[in-house]
Amino acid sequence: MGLWPPKTNDRLFIFFFGYLTIHCCLEYAELIEYIDNLEYVVTNLTENTILTMILVKISAYRLNAKRLHQVLEDVKDDYDEDKYKEPDERLSFLQYNVLAKRFIKISVPIMFLAALMFYLKPLTGQMRASKSRKEIHVWNRYVPTYI
C-alpha cells in the first residue's frame, strides 16, 4: 500500500487511497439512498464504519511516516544483543524476548479460535433446528454445469 516507513511509495499509496476513498464515498451515497430501510442501514454502517476507520488510519500513518520510521529504527537498535554489556541487562533482554514469543504463541491460536467460533456460530442454530425436526436441509446456490 506504499505505507511502510522505510520504503514509502507515492504511486502505490495514491492508488490505494483513491480507491478506498471512492469506495467509501459510494457506500455513503448508497446509505443516503436507502436510508428508509433499517436493515440495510445497519448493514451499510457496519461495513462503512470499518472502511472509514481504515481510511483515517492510512491517512494518519502517511502523515506520520517520518516519525514512524524513526521509531522503527530505534526499536531495531534496541534489539541489538551487543548493545547490552552487563550480564543482568542481557539476561533481562533475553527474558523479555522469551516472554514476547510465549505471548504470541498463546494469543495467536486463541484469536484464530475466537474468530472461527464467531463465524461458525450461525451453524449451531441450523444444526439445532435440524436435529429437532430430524431432517437435514441443504441449500445449494450453485448448479453444477460441467458434470
Q: What is the pLDDT of residues 12-69, one digit of tens each?
A: 889 999 999 999 999 999 999 999 988 888 988 988 999 999 999 999 989 888 898 8
Question: 3-state class of 52 per DSSP?
Answer: helix
What was the pLDDT predicted at 86? 84
The stretches of 64-86 forming alpha helices (DSSP H) are: 65-78
pLDDT surpassing 60 at residue 136: no
Predicted structure pTM score: 0.56
- Asked if 69 and 5 touch (Cβ cutoff 8 Å), the reply is yes
* CB-count burial class (<10 Å; 0-12, 13-18, 19+) for 76: exposed
Per-residue pLDDT tens digits for 87-125: 888 888 888 889 999 999 999 999 999 999 888 877 777
